[in-house]
Amino acid sequence: MSAHVEEIRLNLPHIELAAHLYGPEDGQPVIALHGWLDNAASFARLAPRLPGLRIVALDFAGHGHSAHRAPGAGYLLWDYALDVLLVAEQLGWDRFALLGHSMGAIVSVMLAGAMPDRVSRLALIDGLMPYTGEADQAPTKLGEALLAQLALAAKRKPVYAAIDRAVEARMKGVGAVSREAAELLAQRGLMPVAGGYTWRTDSRLTLPSPLRLTRAHALAFARSLKCPALLVLAEHGLLQTEPKFVELLDGLPLDVRRLPGKHHLHLDDEAGAQAVADCFNPFFAAP
């Protein structure tokens, strides 16, 4: 399924972000947020199936065609949340919905929990809370992160002789995807270099986090949600492997739908995209 999509640039005070724009100008405002190491093409199959919405599908900073953060800066979840809020400010959207997949869903929950007056509803795909770390692990984890940053200058991105090789690598990456999904992500995510192609993503995105929220912190954001929230879970997605995740859902203020498919069920094939759309269309149409 195809629909008109416009490429736009958003000049924030500290960085320039790229995005795909879908839907009518008077549509319900929605900011769509992709997963880690993906890009705006993550919504290429789903967005055209959500009529009546004005969807701005961002390339997060360091991903796709968006700029990389300045030297010395990092890619923490709350930095992404600020970027999203600044995008809404630039668009003139006082209130807006968030459509998030994986890491994009995590950022969505954090922003909605922190700024309940700004977020009208949450549509989440196989993502909810970040990986957590308890206080006693913090010194060790920070040490590992600092060493990784020191070693980054000596690391080199992989170079693929042909686009097909990059597509095959992405199919086997974190949250393995179908070939068609990998091709869509590669169209936006690859750039030519000497010897072939490499990913546009900032190498710093693969660094370990210097600080993680505790489980109590992460749950506090999810429990603070005030807007309507719907989580679509993939039967073979990443969240199903999290220990005690199902028990956590019982006490959270959101509706949950389970669908066949893997972590990228909204992108892997047309049937998956339609199934996700069939969940979200009534949700967005509700008063």
Q: Annotated catalytic sites, by residue?
A: 102
DSSP secondary structure letters along the chain: -----EEEEEE-SS-EEEEEEES-TTSEEEEEE--TT--GGGGTTTGGGSTTEEEEEE--TTSTTSPPPPTT----HHHHHHHHHHHHHHHT-SSEEEEEETHHHHHHHHHHHH-TTTEEEEEEES--S-----GGGHHHHHHHHHHHHHHGGG-----BSSHHHHHHHHHTSSS---HHHHHHHHHHHEEEETTEEEE-S-GGGGSPPS----HHHHHHHHHT--S-EEEEEEEESSGGGSTTHHHHHTTSSSEEEEEEEETTHHHH-HHHHHHHHHHHHHHHH--
What distance in Å separates the CA atoms of residue 191 and residue 197, rounded to the nearest whole number?
Answer: 6
What distance in Å separates the CA atoms of residue 159 and residue 282, rounded to the nearest whole number?
Answer: 44
**Tokens coding 159:** 């170079």
